[in-house]
Structure 1
Amino acid sequence: MDSPRRIKSAFSTVLDQPPSCIEFSPVATEFFVVGTYCLEEQPERDGGAGDECSRTDEETHAPQSRSGCLALFNIADDGLQAIKTQVLPTPYAVLDLHFSPHSPATFAIATSTGAVSLYTLNASIPSPAIAHRHTSKFFSPSILVLALAFHPSDPSLIAVSLSTGSLALTNPSTNSVLHTLPAHALEAWTLAFSSVAENLYSGGDDCSLTRYHLGPGGQDLPTKLWSDRRSHTAGVTAILPFPLDEQILLTGSYDEFVRIYDCGNRRVLAEKKVAEGGGVWRLRLISSYGTDRSRCLVLASCMHTGTRLLEVVREGGQKRVWEIRVLGAFEEHQSMNYASDGKCDGGGRGLVVVSTSFYDRLLCLWRFEP
């Protein structure tokens, strides 16, 4: 039975708008960007309030007006403070954000208006800033782009998942949609490429995990290999390929479990209930280590129950044994924890983590010491 360490914040602040996504710069690691999602108030209707990040126009029976912003922060004071250096308003809500593996100063965001937007982070001191580069309006403004992923080898391609349940391969430089893939019956919450870009995985609100095989370079029409609806008992919300093993995924679900999934045999190798009373919304790889990088640290944003720091372990030779351990728990958030990210401390003192919560707009900075 795990006895996770209870972690306290070193710094916290209240944001102007609800945070939905966050990512550290891969090169200027003292900076991180927060995307926000603001649903304009509508007249009250009968029934309880749903989770704002998962509400669609069809569910509310009226057009929804959404806006947001991108907020740039700088980690300062020896990792004990996060200083807001810029707020850039956006005419859409921001649902996902990732820096490019090909051009690390560039990041893309998924928007609430069917578009993907590219931005640049100039981290030069004393005037660090983010700037808008280009917006590609791929789909109807009523369609939410829920998640995105850069193609690992082709810098021109970005895959997106949509509130319609479909996936799409897009090329923002030419404003074109190359392929649309009918992956899910309900919202497609998440997607990920395999590290060698041969496969595209997606997870949906229909409880399914889907695998497409891509042609060389990603330009050919992908082939749907399978869709597994048996391994998850609720919507699949997070997918993280395990380092150095193309057949293994970590998945998160509304059913509160993180699972280690074997794509070759389509079966769960290990699972752990990490979010009692709440779902697992996102998984973020922090580091991998061990003699053959057989262990990794993963940050789980667990919606109703805060943030968990997980260790995923692969042991043994031919007969591999998998395990998920909960090392730490951060539980100061009082509403939905949708967005967290972390980095290894350059001073060798463990991890620096930023986690957020939606309705109370709280941003917390905390450390985890080994």
Structure 2
Amino acid sequence: MSAIASTLSLTLPLPPSCIAFCPTQPHLFVVGTYHLHGSTNDNNQDHDGDTVIDEPDIQQRSGSLILYKLEGDEITEIATETTPDFAILDAQWSPHTSKHGELLAVATSTGRLVLYELQSNGDTMHLASRCSEQVCEASILVLSLAWHPSRANVVGITLSDGSVCLCESTGGEPWAPGTAINVTAVHEHGLEAWTLAFARYDGDTAMLSGGDDLVLQLSTLDDHDAVTHRWQDRKVHEAGVTAIVPLSSDLVLTGSYDDHLKLLSAPLAGRRQVLADANLGGGVWRLKILSGSGAPASLALPEGTRSLIILASCMHAGTRVVKLSRGRDDAWQFEVLAQFEEHKSMNYGSDVEPSESTLKSIVSTSFYDKLLCLWKYETGEDKDGSDAMADSRA
């Protein structure tokens, strides 16, 4: 396992909570920030591993969306949208640009779902607020979100009260200003619902979610959003489930507070089974597929694929580059290839610039020290000579 050094590091004005590269303009990325007024994140002190939302709800939160441009080894701030009335916990670009342009969905600390549109003004770009809707009580935090894979007017969200919901923009152009948003409950967790992902199961759209109650659960949706709850599992994870990446209708990657990255067999019917497991030394907060050009958060695993490379944000342990491979006996295993450990506090967000190149540009962040780092990783070719997932994808 190799240690990686940054090519550039910046100190941000506020603690960063999430980061996302724009899929259609891969040189651009956005960082969401989260500032709890009167808390210890005012003085850059690290905490003992608790997540930022564990702070008292009565305190005021604010934040910002910072748009950056990456060119080679240089990062330039393009524009900043301050959010004085809420902090930001998650931000995800829409994959449906042909339907409504370049939209960014933002999860807030005041129960609002906010949509921003990437706009140009001559040679400059900025994010303009397009749609904002109160989707739950203001005392409830929207913790994470995901775009529906085929419906441009639907976003899934998870909440600090344990709820997992669908938000549907109704009537006219999706997410147009003033558009009504219908909220449909899907299922619930006993504690905070940290994460969710959409997947396809036997032709059905499914929602997987993970919570602080150790539960991973799945529900399927029909074309009218009628929900069928399929299963919940509280035996696989020993702490809260914080990251989910479906790979196929059976295989799912998960991350947890228990420091473990797991590959699960999680069929629509039948028992869940752990196929591979690795302790990454820190809570696995977010996962990205590193191999491939613009690899989405959820993708089908091609037939015959023997390996893929994963980027893991590991909270107090920094960032890991992990290889998942399948041997000739069809057994799966994880191998930590590299680690980036210049972050001195919670690594909540990391992302990779969408690119065909095997030399990946990665930007990672850490919360209390307000650090943003640029570093490189060469995915290259598998040791056994077979192509990595990015190159084997049809």
Same fold (TM over 0.5): yes
Q: Is the aligned partner of 1:236 residue 2:241?
A: yes
C-alpha displacement at 1:39, in angstroms? Answer: 0.6
Q: For residues 132 and 369 of structure 2, what CA distance do their matches in structure 1 show?
A: 30
Give the drift of 1:54. 2.9
Which residue number in structure 2 is paired with residue 132 of structure 1?
Answer: 129
Find the counterpart in structure 2 of residue 96 from structure 1: 90
What amino acid is the match of 2:277? E
Which stretch of the first structure deviates more once superposed, 190-199 or 108-117?
190-199
Kindly report which structure 2 residues correspond to 1:18-37, keeping only aligned pairs within 5 A, or say none.
18-37=15-34
Paired residues of 2:49 and 2:346 also in contact (CA < 8 A): no
Question: How much does 1:146 deviate?
Answer: 0.3
- Which residue among 285, 291, 300 is the counterpart of 2:289? 285
Structure 1 Cα separation of the partners of residues 258 and 88 of structure 2:
25
| Residue aligning to 1:353 | 362
Query: After TM superposition, which residue ranges in structure 1, 4 or more long, deviate above 6 angstroms?
Result: none
- Tell me, in whole angstroms, the C-alpha distance in 2 between the residues paired with 1:182 and 1:251: 19
Q: What's the offset of the Cα at 1:291?
A: 7.8
Structure 1 residues 281 and 198, CA gap change in structure 2 (3 angstroms)? same
- Per the alignment, residue 278 of structure 2 pairs with 272
Match in the other structure for 1:114: 111
SS in 1 for 2:291: strand
Change in Cα spacing, 1:324 to 1:64, as seen in structure 2 (3 Å) is same
Question: How many Å apart are 1:134 and its aligned residue?
Answer: 0.9
Q: Does 1:199 align with 2:198?
A: no
**Aligned positions of 1:288-299 closer than 5 A:** 288=292, 292-299=304-311
> How far has the Cα of 1:298 moved from its partner?
1.4
Alpha-carbon distance, 1:188 to partner: 0.2
Distance 1:295 1:181 in 2: 33
Measure the CA separation in 2 of the matches of 1:282 and 1:292: 26
* 1:1-370 alignment runs, 5 A limit: 4-41=1-38, 51-55=50-54, 60=56, 63-76=58-71, 79-90=72-83, 91-103=85-97, 105-122=102-119, 126-172=123-169, 173=175, 174-195=179-200, 198-216=205-223, 219-242=224-247, 245-264=248-267, 265-274=271-280, 276=281, 278-288=282-292, 292-316=304-328, 320-343=330-353, 345-346=355-356, 348=357, 350-369=359-378, 370=380
Letter in 2 for 1:155: A
| TM-score normalised to structure 1 length | 0.89
Distance 1:181 1:353, change over 3 A: same
1:349–1:124 distance in 2 versus 1, CA, 3 Å: farther
Report the 3-state secondary structure (helix = DSSP H, G, I; strand = E; otherwise coil) of the residue aligned with 1:54.
helix
After TM superposition, give the deviation of residue 198 of structure 1 in Å.
1.7
Contact 1:9 1:365 (8 Å CA) reproduced: yes
Amino acid at match of 1:75: L
Distance 1:197 1:354 in 2: 34
CA change 1:209–1:43 in 2 (3 A) is closer
- Alpha carbons 2:245, 2:254 under 8 Å: kept: yes
Report sequence identity in percent: 41
Kindly state the Cα deviation for residue 14 of structure 1 after the two structures are TM-superposed.
0.2
Deviation string for 1:101-128 (max 9, x for gaps)?
Answer: 1126111011111111111123676212
Contact 2:27/2:353 (CA < 8 Å) preserved in 1?
A: no
SS at 1:139 equivalent? coil
Q: CA deviation at 1:326?
A: 1.2
SS of equivalent to 2:3: strand
Judged with a 3 Å threshold, the aligned counterparts in structure 2 of structure 1 residues 231 and 349 are, in CA distance, closer, same or farther, namely closer
Letter in 2 for 1:51: D
Matches of 1:49 and 1:295, distance apart in 2: 35
Structure 1, unaligned runs of 5 or more: none
- Count of residues in correspondence between the two structures: 349
SS of 2:52's equivalent in the other structure is: helix
CA–CA distance in structure 2, aligned partners of residues 52 and 5 of structure 1: 28
The amino acid of 1:296's aligned partner reads: L
How far apart are 1:187 and its partner, in Å? 0.2
